[in-house]
Amino acid sequence: MDSLLNQFDIDRAAIERMLNDAIGSADDGELFAEYYESEGLVFDNGRLKTGNFNTGQGFGLRSVAGEVAAYAHSGDLSKAGLKRACDAVQTIKGGRGGNFAAGPQGTNHKLYGEENPIGAPEFEDKVKLLEKMDAHARNLDERVRQVTISLAATWQVVEILRPGGDLVRDIRPLVRASVGIVAGEGERQESGMYGFGGRKSYDEFLSEDSWQHAVDEALRQALVNLDAKPAPAGTMDVVLGAGWPGVMLHEAVGHGLEGDFNRKKTSAFSELMGKQVASKGVTVVDNGTLEERRGSLSVDDEGTPTNETILIEDGILVGYMQDRQNARLMGMEPTGNGRRQSYAHSPMPRMTNTYMQSGDHQPDEIIASVKDGIYAVSFGGGQVDITSGKFVFDCTEAYEIKNGKIGAPLKGANLIGNGPEAMQRISMIGNDMALDTGIGSCGKNGQTLPVGVGQPTIRMDQMTVGGTGV
C-alpha cells in the first residue's frame, strides 16, 4: 500500500511545512495517519447472526507542552482538513523554550509484512467453516444447548510524521476466533468459552486441528462447570494456572505501573521505585517485540520502537511503562508504550504483552504443596481500583485442592485482594510460563486495545476467596 501521506491532496513537503508551523515550537507532537479494514462474523444458534466489513482512514494531530496536550482529528485526508487541525492545536506553545523533543530512535525490526488477512478465505468459506464448527460441537454431546462462534480480523496501516520530516510506518494484522458453548442438564445450564488469535493470517487458526481444539475446550469447560459445586468462602492458599490467569497480573499490577498514574501519584505503586513490591523471585516484564502476539507492535503509536521493559525484577520495582510525554516529565526514557485506539484518540501509556517470568518449581510440586485451597485455571471479569490496588476477579474455571490433589470443580469463586499485597503473597513460581491464547483486550480512559498476558503456575498464600458454599 502506498504511503498514507499520498492520500492528501498536497505533497509531503507541504504537509511538513504545515506540521512545522503548527507544532514546531511545542515540546512534542506528531501527525498520526491511519488506514484500516475490519471484518466480523458471528454464528449463533445454527445461523449467521451478523456479518460486517468496514474500512476507514483518518489522521490525528497532537501538540504537547509540559502537562498539556491539544489534539485534533479528522477523517478528511486533505489540505483543508489538515489546516483545520493545525489551527486547533497551534495554541499550544513549548513549555521548555520551544525546543522540540528529539524524535525516537529508528528501528529495523519490522514484525509484519504487507499481507492483509482479510479476504482469505472467502466469505462463503468462512460461513461454511462456522457451520462445521457448530455441527461438531452439537455432535460431541447431547447436552449442548447453544453454540456461538465468532471470527474477526483487522488490518491496520499507520504512519507517524514528526516536524523535521521523520516518518515511521507500521503494518498491523490481527485475527481472533472464539467459541462459546452453553451446556445444560435439566434446569441447570453452564457455559464455557475458548478463544485464540494473533497478529498473523487466518491460516493457522482455521486449520481443522485448531478449530476442533477450540470447540472441544469450550465444551470441556462448560461440562466442568455443569458438574461444579459452590465454591467455599474464606482465607486460603490459591494456585493460579499458567497463561490466561496472568490477566489478574495485568489488571491488579500492570495498570499501576503505567507512567501516567505514577507521575500523578495516583497508583498504589507510586514512589516505590527501587523498593520491594513483590516476593523474591517475581520478575514481571512488558514486551511488545514478540512476533505474532496480540499486543506486539514494531513501533508504538508515537513512533518509538517497542521494547522488553523490565518492571519488577526479583521482587524489586525497577521500571514503568512510558509514553513520550510522561517519560519526559518524569525524567525517564520512553519505553515504546505510547498507544492509542485509533486516529481519533490521543496516545497514553498502555501495556503490550505483560507477563511474569518462570521460576524453578514444577507445577505438580506447587499443587502438591497445598493442603486445602483452590486451583484457578481461568478468569472472567474483574474490577480493579488503581489508586488503592484493590481487586476482585471472577474464576470461570476452578477446582478445590485437598491434601495436595486437585479435586472437584468449583462454581462462583472469586479472588479478592490488593495488588501490591497479593504480589507479596507469592510463595512458589512454576517453570511453565505461558502466554494467553491471543484473546486479551484492555480498556483505559475509554480506549480499548489488544494486549497479551501470561504467567507460570504460581502459589499465593492466604488469599481471600469469595464463594457461595457453606
Q: What grid cell was written down for 38?
A: 475490519
Task: Round the average pLDDT of the chain to a whole number and report it.
Answer: 93
| pLDDT, tens digit (0-9, with 9 covering 90-100), for 317-347 | 999 999 999 999 999 999 999 999 999 999 9
> Containing H/E element for 461?
strand 458-466
Q: Which amino acid is at 154?
A: T
Q: Where are the beta strands (DSSP E) in 199-307?
A: 229-230, 234-240, 284-287
| pLDDT, tens digit (0-9, with 9 covering 90-100), for 261-286 | 999 999 999 999 999 999 999 999 99
Q: Given CA atoms 414, 419, 423, 424 in this order, what sign does their dihedral have?
A: negative
Higher pLDDT, 375 or 96: 375
Q: 349, 267 in Cβ contact below 8 A?
A: no
The distance in angstroms from the start CA to the end CA of the chain is 62
* pLDDT given for residue 98 in this prediction: 55
Q: What angle do CA 131, 136, 141 make, to 5 degrees?
A: 135
Q: What grid cell was written down for 276?
A: 520491594
> What is the C-alpha to C-alpha distance for residues 211 and 140, in angstroms, rounded to an integer?
14
Q: 39, 48 in Cβ contact below 8 A?
A: no
> What is the C-alpha to C-alpha distance for residues 18 and 130, in angstroms, rounded to an integer?
49
Question: Which of 151-165, 181-195, 456-470 is the least confident region?
Answer: 456-470
Higher pLDDT, 36 or 91: 36
144-161 and 47-65 as β-strands: parallel, antiparallel, unpaired?
unpaired
Question: For 108, which DSSP code?
Answer: -
Per the listing, cell 484493590 goes with 390
Higher pLDDT, 368 or 164: 368
| pLDDT, tens digit (0-9, with 9 covering 90-100), for 102-147 | 888 777 678 887 788 887 888 999 999 999 999 999 999 999 999 9
> What is the C-alpha to C-alpha distance for residues 419 and 312, in angstroms, rounded to an integer?
13
Q: By 3-state DSSP, what share of the chain in percent is helix, strand and coil, each rounded to 5?
A: 20, 40, 40
Question: 24 pLDDT band (50/70/90 cuts)?
Answer: confident
Per the listing, cell 525497577 goes with 318
The domain segmentation of the chain, as residue ranges, is 123-155+171-227, 234-466
* pLDDT given for residue 376 in this prediction: 96
Q: How far is CA 33 from CA 19, 73, 390, 398, 427, in A?
A: 13, 10, 38, 45, 47
Per the listing, cell 518462570 goes with 358
Of the candidates 385, 442, 444, the residue with the CA atom closest to the CA atom of residue 416: 385
Q: What grid cell was written down for 62?
A: 497532537
CATH superfamily of 123-155+171-227: Lipoprotein like domain (3.30.160.150)
What contacts 346, CB < 8 A, 6 or more positions away? 60, 62, 69, 71, 340
188-198 and 447-450 as β-strands: parallel, antiparallel, unpaired?
unpaired
Please state the pTM of the whole predicted model. Answer: 0.94
Q: What are phi and psi of 50, to 5 degrees?
A: -140, 150
What contacts 154, CB < 8 A, 6 or more positions away? 36, 37, 38, 39, 118, 172, 173, 174
| pLDDT, tens digit (0-9, with 9 covering 90-100), for 55-80 | 999 999 999 999 999 999 999 999 99
* pLDDT given for residue 167 in this prediction: 95
What contacts 36, CB < 8 A, 6 or more positions away? 54, 55, 56, 57, 154, 155, 156, 157, 342
